[in-house]
Amino acid sequence: MATRTDAPTRREQILKEAARLFAERGFHGVGVDEIGAAVGISGPGLYRHFAGKDAMLAELLVGISGQLLTGGKRRLAESAGDPEKVLDSLIEGHIDFALDDRPLITLHDRELDRLRDSDRKLVRQLQRQYVEIWVGVVREVHPELSEPAARSAVHSVFGLLNSTPHLGRAGSLPGRGATAALLHRMAKGAFAAAGA
């Protein structure tokens, strides 16, 4: 997600706490009163911001998929003409997401099927577009890879990067910078191995 310098809105606070709670205890294990308490408002007060928990879940999962796609397009445009630089930038952006938004990874893995069909289809559509950006760049950096091989490599790297919820608590990691550098080296190594 993009780094912000201004204070989060009430809506953003609600979404952040909802993501954390849903990831910790599951969608059905959390009530609106608990989400409200986490941000200092009554459970019914949440309905001024969202129609209900389903709307929060949809906004979280559709929102992050859209943000990843927008970020991928921006990184592609900023580094156009230098595929290695674009690939490094894409990896860095995804690592930022994987380290900063770990609850959303857990939420996606566990709760995507709870979305309405239209929201789930939108998430999948946004994700496919994001993957295609990566596939194009990987094939520029590693032209020896076929399209199916590049797509498999991209999905494998996403699996690696999206494993951050399983790395332990943030305090048990070697530090954000060291973890990001390690993930970056592993992602680049995976693409190099796929092209070998």
Can you give the pLDDT at residue 139? 97
**Mean pLDDT on 24-45:** 91
**Mean pLDDT on 68-93:** 95
Write the DSSP assignment of the chain as a string of letters.
-----SPPPHHHHHHHHHHHHHHHH-GGG--HHHHHHHHTS-TGGGGGT-SSHHHHHHHHHHHHHHHHHHHHHHHHHHTTT-HHHHHHHHHHHHHHHHHH-HHHHHHHHHHGGGS-HHHHHHHHHHHHHHHHHHHHHHHHH-TTS-HHHHHHHHHHHHHHHTTGGGS--GGGSS-HHHHHHHHHHHHHHHHHHHH-
The pTM (predicted TM-score) of the whole model is 0.89
Q: Write out pLDDT tens, residues 100-147.
A: 999 999 999 999 999 999 999 999 999 999 999 999 999 999 999 999
**Mean pLDDT on 156-166:** 93
Can you give the pLDDT at residue 5? 57
CATH number for the domain formed by residue range(s) 8-50: 1.10.10.60
pLDDT confidence of 171, banded at 50, 70, 90? low
The second-level CATH assignment, the architecture, of 54-195 is: Orthogonal Bundle (1.10)
Q: Where along the chain do its domains lie? A: 8-50, 54-195
